Amino acid sequence: MRFIGNKENLVDRIYHVIQEKNIKVKSFFDVFAGTANVGRYFKNKNIQIYSSDLLYFSYVLQQAYIVNNKEILFEKLLSKLDFTSRIFFASPLGLVIEYLNNLKPVEGFIYKHYCPSGSSELTQPRKYFSNENGKIIDSIRIQIENWYSDDLISKNEYYVLLACLIETVPYYANVSGVFAAFHKKWDPRAVKKLELRQIKTIINDKTNFSFNVNSVELLDIEADIYYLDPPYNQRQYAPNYHLLETIAKYDNPKIRGVTGIRAYENQKSKFCNKITALQELDKIAKHGLYKTLILSYNTEGIMPQQKIISILEKYGKLETVEFKYLRFKSNNNGLSKSKKYVNEQLFILRKHE
Ligand SMILES: C[S@@+](CC[C@H](N)C(=O)[O-])C[C@H]1O[C@@H](n2cnc3c(N)ncnc32)[C@H](O)[C@@H]1O
């Protein structure tokens, strides 16, 4: 998924640094999980994962990729669905996805507020999704919720289906990566008919945990590694991804403004302010029950390098590793994007015994 600060392309290098430095890792806490990509990578290595994020849609992804630990079979649902598949040898998830892809479109919350016809009474009707795709998103989201409340799908099955929807939606959104604004003209991918995509489940032989809270409240988690990948600048994540949050929660929120943003007071990160970021970093380094703390940060971040070093050095032996990294960048109003090389730095702190 396109997500600011997504470490999909960096995580393999981080793992190699961990190996080269002989850092023990049987358990791993992904403290700022985002897309859950980092946790997924380490789960694949059969490491026990803890992960957390302030965003609920991140929690959905974490539940589907990190907590769910088996192939899902949809036994109850498939025994009730009256439906003939056109796909040979489809997996149970494949069958359910096919069913969802053939639902009758519904004019629900997304259509009414984020598509041009649904929001036509506004001075500037919103063009986040085509009318057709808005209705498809509504029909799929409502059906998943109904199955869950009718007890036809398990909690794991519920989160896997929601994760399929969350992973699919950005491919059809009329935006430049973030949802802080929509294009005035249609991007070609936004006018293609939305087809729900399958996610791949990951299985290891550990029990893994995920949370949807301020991670600074989770410092009693004991893990060999705490991996910290906090926001780098003042831009809060919640307003930039408000629509994914609303699709994940589907809670008919009060929305406002040209973009139809939801309130995010309780999802503001202290890492988006230079002073409070340093204070929070200190708390984690001081109180966290880790053996090694790894902070990913880059030279453009709001916490100055020297300040980071002086905080972390108090708690153990500190090393830094630096690499060049191609980072996704979207401008302030989200209407243009560029690729940019930045220097990504790893601060590796081995705590005093
Ligand atoms: C740079 S992104 C992480 C990207 C992630 N490593 C990935 O690969 O997708 C930072 C994340 O930290 C989350 N966040 C910020 N402050 C937080 C806090 N205090 N507790 C939990 N999550 C927080 C944001 O919501 C955002 O998802």
Q: What is the pLDDT of residues 57-74, one digit of tens each?
A: 999 999 999 999 999 999
CA-closest residue to ligand 1 atom 1: 5
Of 32, 268, 283, the residue with max ligand 1 atoms within 8 A of its CB, to mutate for a pocket test, comes to 32
Looking at residue 352, its pLDDT comes to 83
Instruction: Work out the pLDDT band at 336, boundaries 50, 70, 90.
Output: very low
Identify the H or E element spanning 353. none
Which tokens belong to 331? 């401008």
Q: Which residue pairs from 70-77 have beta carbons closer than 8 angstroms and sit at least 24 positions apart in sequence?
A: 70/156, 70/201, 70/203, 71/201, 71/203, 72/154, 72/156, 72/157, 72/160, 72/201, 74/153, 74/157, 76/151, 76/152, 76/153, 76/154, 77/147, 77/152, 77/153, 77/157
The distance from CA 32 to its chain's CA centroid, rounded to whole angstroms, is 9
8 A C-beta contact, residue 301 and residue 231: no
8 A C-beta contact, residue 127 and residue 174: yes
Looking at residue 339, its pLDDT comes to 61
Sheet holding 27-30, edge to edge: 209-211, 48-52, 27-30, 222-228, 289-298, 337-351, 316-330
CA-closest residue to ligand 1 atom 26: 34
SS3 state of residue 261: strand
| Residue 328 pLDDT > 80 | no
CA 259–ligand 1 middle distance (angstroms): 23
Residue list, ligand 1 pocket, CB within 6 Å: 3, 5-7, 32, 34-35, 37-38, 52-55, 58, 214-216, 229-231, 237, 269, 271
- Of the chain, the percentage scoring pLDDT greater than 70 comes to 96
| pLDDT, tens digit (0-9, with 9 covering 90-100), for 207-261 | 999 999 999 999 999 999 999 999 999 999 999 999 999 999 999 999 999 999 9
Q: Which residues contact 176 (CB under 8 A, 6 or more apart)?
A: 183, 330, 331, 334, 335, 336, 337
CA 231–ligand 1 middle distance (angstroms): 6
- Of the chain, the percentage scoring pLDDT greater than 90 comes to 88
| pLDDT, tens digit (0-9, with 9 covering 90-100), for 157-192 | 999 999 999 999 999 999 999 999 999 999 999 999
Looking at residue 337, its pLDDT comes to 52
- Of 287, 281, 289, the residue nearest 309 (C-alpha): 281
Which tokens belong to 250? 């589907």
Q: How far apart are the first and last CA of the chain?
A: 39
Average pLDDT over the chain, rounded to an integer: 94
